[in-house]
Structure 1
Amino acid sequence: MTARPDLGGSSAPATNPQPTPDRPAPLRAAIALTAVGAALVGLGPLAGLVAPGASAAFAAWPLLLPLALAAPALAAAFAKVGHPATAAALLIGPAVLAPGRLVLDLQFLVNAGRAARPELLRVDTLDAYTPSAGTWLLLAGHVASLVGGLLAVRGIQHGEESAGAHRQGLLTLVLCAGFLAAVAVLMAPFASDDPYLLPNPAVDAPLPVLVGSVLLAVGAPTAAGFFAGAGDPDVARGGLLGLAVALAGIVLPPLVAVAVLDQLTLAWGPVLGLVAVVALATLALPAGRNRSVEATGDLSLPTFTRLIALAAVFALIAGTLALVAAAMPQVEMPFGLRDPSPYPARVLWPAGGLLVLVGGLLLLPRVGRWLRPVLPVVWVVVPLAAAGVLDAVFTAMQAAEAEADYGSWAAGAAVLFAALAAAIAAVAGGVERDDVDLTEMAMHRLVLFPSLVALPLGAGAFSVPVVTASDYTAPGVFTAFSTASWGLVIALAAVVGAAVLAPMCRPQRAAALLCGAALVVSVRVLEYPLTAGRFPDANPGPGLWFGLACTAVLLGTALAAARSRRDPELA
């Protein structure tokens, strides 16, 4: 059993990441620098963010300052009681989110009136504002937090992993919480009747807000997964706590703003974020338990079958929600105006049906193991279809003051459950690979070359329109980028990922990946017969032919991979 050095300076060997006892200065400097950054973030806006002067919509510094100081205060407390690894990791969590928060706040330099941050600023005119001292103090605070996290990393040395690094059950829950946080930061923080506080989801927000939100959405689940898999329980505990505290600083101010300002109403984004905060903080407790192999024996992990069953249930829920969304009205239009959503909603039928089919088959023991790699690819058909629906809904809401109906909410929920199903299926794949000898794995040329051919075909299928008509510009990846384009980007990424990974997988797993990619492209192809009827002069676009060719290549390659039995152990 690995011994951990105590606070008194024991010389027992340590194999887990531990702050070096002869270098306490980096940790002390990290705590001090992070505390300074927290003070700048909490109090800097009091100096005034813009000129001419404009204050916050409410006195928020009593909330912002404690939230910002929570991480360095907890780090100092853990360091004092003899847990320097926990203290260091506590500072790394906020540092991971600092770049996203920094880019978000760059909006005050570009156009402060569109920041939609009532806890920091509320303008009352359309006149141009210039950044003032408070903006620079706010940005400096984020930089200080980032540098403090880097100093904290220097205080941790890496050794051998402990048995706790393989707790897939904890990892699954943490990844789900991290994904929930990612969804939360991409959604609108609140709804508003105030013409000077107009929030938008990330896809419709100004560029700094979009980029900052994406950085937060990537950083939260990535950091959560890293900390959950850390070999040292102290690092896992501190990292998850720090991440929860940093995320609380993002999602709590909008909730408080809704509570104190009559013009604002609650939105789902901060609510989901608060759930993620509570989940991460709660999961930090079991993550911090030091379970050695000698003390506990074999780890109690969720079996492959249980993970597959859980993924199947989420897939069934996602598919059912997509079908419900397709059957229900998406938007409530003002009297006399045409609803633009019925045709895009038709794509939800094959998307939802496909998820229901895959989820049901995953529950069958004989096919579940083979079908498992399909789900992490094919789940993207739900955001592919839902993005087109939500694009129509958002356009109607902005142009005609329409209201979102139950169908659009069901479509959004379907995306969430589909992503959770894919994440759990991916974790199940990791559990499965733990029992397989992959040392002899090699690139399979039989799969490699057709997969390379499928890459440009897939890019064409999602980058150019499948339907063309006069006076119609279809959403695209490189042109006419809109909310619907995000569905195209996600689907294209899944197809590319499957085509790249398939040549390195065991033959049957490669066949499953390629079949999943073919199903995704097929849903894209179905967009033509399902939606072309809305245009009297609709014609097949080049994306349709790219999609048909890509589907044929992927299915042919999958068939060749399934028949490959050159190495029975890899089949």
Structure 2
Amino acid sequence: MRLRVALALAFLGALLTGLGPLPGLVAPGAPAAYPSWPLLLVLALLPPALAVALIRRGEPAAGAAVLVGAAVLVPGRVGTDLQFAVDPGGAARPEVLELHELAHFTPALGFWLLMTGHLAVLLAGLFALRRSGHESGAGTQRQGVLAMVLCVGALGAIGVLMAPFRSEDPFLVAEPALDGPLPVLVGSALLAIAAAGGAGLLAGSADPEIARGGLFGVASGLAAVAVPPLVSVLVLDDLRFEWGPVLMLVAAVALAALGVPAGRAAAEADPQDLRLPALTRLLTLAGVFALVAGAIAVLAAIAPHVSMPFGLRDPSTYPARMLWPAGSVLLVVGAGLLVPSAALRLRPVLPVVWVVLPLAAAGSLDAVFTAVQAAGAQVGIGAWASGLAVLPAAVAAVLAAIAGAVERDDVDLTEMAMRRSVLGPSLLALVLGAGAFSLPVLTAPDYTAPGVFTAFGTTSWGLVLAMAAVVGATVLAPMCRPQRAAALLCGAAVVVAVRVVQYPLTSDRLPESAPGLGLWFGIGCLLVLLGTAAAASRAPKPTS
């Protein structure tokens, strides 16, 4: 009975949150910028629909946990939606409200329907929580998954705190949460906490069904926050792309994918019989997504990124060249994962090297944004393709990481220890890698290269992500098994190599260009990484 009541409340809340804004959120009336209600309704119905599907499969605890996961995000959504009552101009929600004048607005019927919908979803989660009987304490088989859930949740939290888009409409002001009005700041903070902490708490449940359903619920709720800003950017001319919603969507997809291994119960018969097929499927899927990402990146390198007004030079030509090595890397790794004899050795490489795509795409998109804003250029298919390629690359990396967790289930980790022979060179590579990505590889008179500490922009996000991947690989490698440590370090070397080839590929665009410090740091880091990888592959397995 509790579960039936929870489902009824969840469907009621979905209808109210999806259709509630239609009568108007404020008075005097201000409709949505475009007909978004079908999208909002589908996103709102996703959690209860998933819950029903799991219950019909004979997994009532998983179905209840979906409603709990969706309810975890409700306090944050209530906080951000309160901005409609305080000052609608600071809400930055064109999918439900578009203002064309400065006036005194008061809450209308749609606002109260929306708040009632949130309350219904929250109550559904509370009823479902009583039904699911949540307990903490993930088994040892899912500790790796729990760690990845926390990392992915942190990524989603970062996306929540970033601006949803850039706006040229004076009545539609979009800012990062820290610079926004108080209700948006508080609501975004609650959403960020829920994305990371709520997902981690549910993934740590002792019941695998609750872990799986909870992650599905958090993922669907996070997608409901991430998708509308992305659609708004696509359909409205005055809005420009920002990375925040993309990070949230990547986190939502990753959490849903992690729900599969999180829901694995302890094997009742032969664990090997259950894990090997799952591992093979994960590696195959990761290879396919990597191939798709690489192919899209190569298409982006070929296709025009912008159409410039007559007489103006296309600034995206040279940055787009970086998509060639990035796409080639994903094609090679993806093809290797489809070869059974090489898949296990290449698997640790993919969660590191996938960052070459956002590294390359960020630089090309930065040039596109500049051309569009400064010269009124038209965005070409190459720009869309370069941004689109990042998503399958991220999915491939998540699948490869999950495959690693499945693989480690059959490994005795009690004897693993820090390898000092790998630790010292890895720390040196870490320092050199930080210099390679934080310092420019190309210098020229009167030119300031986008970087981590100077001229921070769209390109800088790619540099930060690539630097984080190299740092993560060098930190983990000394604690890994020999072959896996070598693969991680080789992946980091590939990322650094893509950074190094930026100089020969793009130096011709600037007169009197010269190598920057970042290039020399990169070459040094590349040599140290390759040498350390060779040493790590020969290191004996520790016995204490």
TM-score (norm 1): 0.69
2:419 is matched by which residue type in structure 1? H
Alignment of 1:264-413 (within 5 A): 293=268, 299=274, 302-413=277-388
| Range moving further from structure 2, 304-313 or 217-226 | 217-226
Give aligned-pair identity as a percent: 56
What does residue 118 of structure 1 align with? 94
* Rg (Cα) greater in structure: 1
Select 2:400's aligned residue among 413, 425, 431: 425
Find the residue that maps to 2:348 and give its secondary structure.
Answer: helix
Structure 1's 46 and 398: CA in aligned 2 closer, same or farther, altered over 3 A? same
Select 2:492's aligned residue among 503, 513, 517: 517
State the Cα distance separating 1:340 from its structure 2 match.
Answer: 0.8
Alignment of 1:232-251 (within 5 A): 232=207, 234-236=209-211, 238-239=213-214, 242-243=217-218, 246=221, 249-250=224-225
Matched, 1:536 2:511: yes
Alignment of 1:82-161 (within 5 A): 85=61, 89-98=65-74, 101=77, 105=81, 112-113=88-89, 115-125=91-101, 127=102, 156-158=133-135
State the Cα distance separating 1:442 from its structure 2 match.
Answer: 0.5
What does residue 20 of structure 1 align with? none
Mind listing any 5+ residue stretches in structure 1 that lack a counterpart?
1-6, 8-23
Separation in 2, partners of 1:277, 1:506: 30
Separation in 2, partners of 1:435, 1:285: 18
Preserved contact between residue 320 and residue 356 of structure 1 (Cα < 8 Å): yes
State the Cα distance separating 1:289 from its structure 2 match.
Answer: 11
State the Cα distance separating 1:263 from its structure 2 match.
Answer: 8.7
Find the residue that maps to 2:501 and give its secondary structure.
Answer: helix
Mind listing any 5+ residue stretches in structure 2 that lack a counterpart?
none
* CA deviation map 1:146-200 (0-9, x unaligned): 89968976873427779997999xxx9x99x9999999999999999x9567698
Separation in 1, partners of 2:299, 2:40: 41
State the Cα distance separating 1:378 from its structure 2 match.
Answer: 0.9
Preserved contact between residue 164 and residue 231 of structure 1 (Cα < 8 Å): no
Alignment of 1:60-71 (within 5 A): none
Q: Give the superposed CA RMSD.
A: 6.0
Preserved contact between residue 123 and residue 196 of structure 1 (Cα < 8 Å): no
State the Cα distance separating 1:222 from its structure 2 match.
Answer: 8.9
What does residue 410 of structure 2 align with? 435
Preserved contact between residue 167 and residue 229 of structure 1 (Cα < 8 Å): no
State the Cα distance separating 1:389 from its structure 2 match.
Answer: 0.7
Matched, 1:448 2:423: yes
Preserved contact between residue 164 and residue 232 of structure 1 (Cα < 8 Å): no
1:158 is matched by which residue type in structure 2? E
* CA deviation map 1:410-445 (0-9, x unaligned): 212321221122112112211221121111001111
State the Cα distance separating 1:339 from its structure 2 match.
Answer: 0.9
Structure 1's 356 and 327: CA in aligned 2 closer, same or farther, altered over 3 A? same
1:342 is matched by which residue type in structure 2? T
Separation in 2, partners of 1:431, 1:285: 11
Matched, 1:549 2:527: no
| Range moving further from structure 2, 91-100 or 494-503 | 91-100
Separation in 2, partners of 1:377, 1:462: 15
1:351 is matched by which residue type in structure 2? A
Separation in 1, partners of 2:222, 2:262: 18
Preserved contact between residue 382 and residue 414 of structure 1 (Cα < 8 Å): yes
1:476 is matched by which residue type in structure 2? G
Structure 1's 478 and 318: CA in aligned 2 closer, same or farther, altered over 3 A? same
Preserved contact between residue 18 and residue 37 of structure 2 (Cα < 8 Å): no
What does residue 18 of structure 1 align with? none
What does residue 19 of structure 1 align with? none
| Range moving further from structure 2, 482-491 or 355-364 | 355-364
Q: How many residues align?
A: 528
What does residue 486 of structure 1 align with? 461
Find the residue that maps to 1:302 and give its secondary structure.
Answer: helix
State the Cα distance separating 1:118 from its structure 2 match.
Answer: 3.3
1:386 is matched by which residue type in structure 2? A
Matched, 1:416 2:421: no
* CA deviation map 1:64-107 (0-9, x unaligned): 7998699799999x99xx99855752443224434664675587
